[in-house]
Structure 1
């Protein structure tokens, strides 16, 4: 089971430097990806700031795919359970990783609470992928050398 953060989903539907990589992964793995309560606002912001001319078309396609439930689906996640776990992760990791962002921690928490095995994200500039790895999730693309240094 694969959990994709918003950066991956936006790359899969938009057109950016990671789009081809996202397409290759989606073609190879053919995952059915969860679209959580966290994705709605984050994906909307990314679309309307990054693709203002095409945002409405992409947004409609995403909503249709969520409704169809084949490529994107609404997982059964308890927001309070996800938030409480995220608070625990934040308590344990933010003293070491000061730039750890709340929404990133919530995505990792959702992946753990949803019993996903793989976490896909293009967000190498944050500690999200490092945190996912620390929670025993396989991370794709693999952690960069810079990210691996934070595991020590």
Structure 2
């Protein structure tokens, strides 16, 4: 079966429309800060993230907080649980997404990787299915 070409609104091929900048408030009192402390590794993380309109995970350990509701960057969730990186996904245009799972409520979310994300944890997530596969490695090699 032939593959269909992916097009977006307006007939453009490839990537979709650029992500628009959102005014995100990070402080508890609703103030806009310039950094936040990571819930995983406790390092200070700058809010400016190359390649995305807003930062939503730590570039060092990929941990996040469950703060977004339906729309990325809306900060509408009241859960505030720790979101641990579970796996990776790749869009049709080649963009990588980190799949997070909330430790408090179990909700899954997909977050775009940023240009300054540490490649080592990203590669660990990408190769995790090869280190402990649910099917025997011999079955994969016979394909």
TM-score tier (shorter): under 0.3
TM-score normalised by the chain length of structure 2:
0.26
Structure with max Cα Rg: 2
Structure with the bigger RCO (C-alpha within 8 Å, sep 6+) is 1
Which structure shows the bigger proportion of residues in helix conformation? 1
Which structure shows the bigger proportion of residues in strand conformation? 2
TM-score normalised by the chain length of structure 1:
0.25
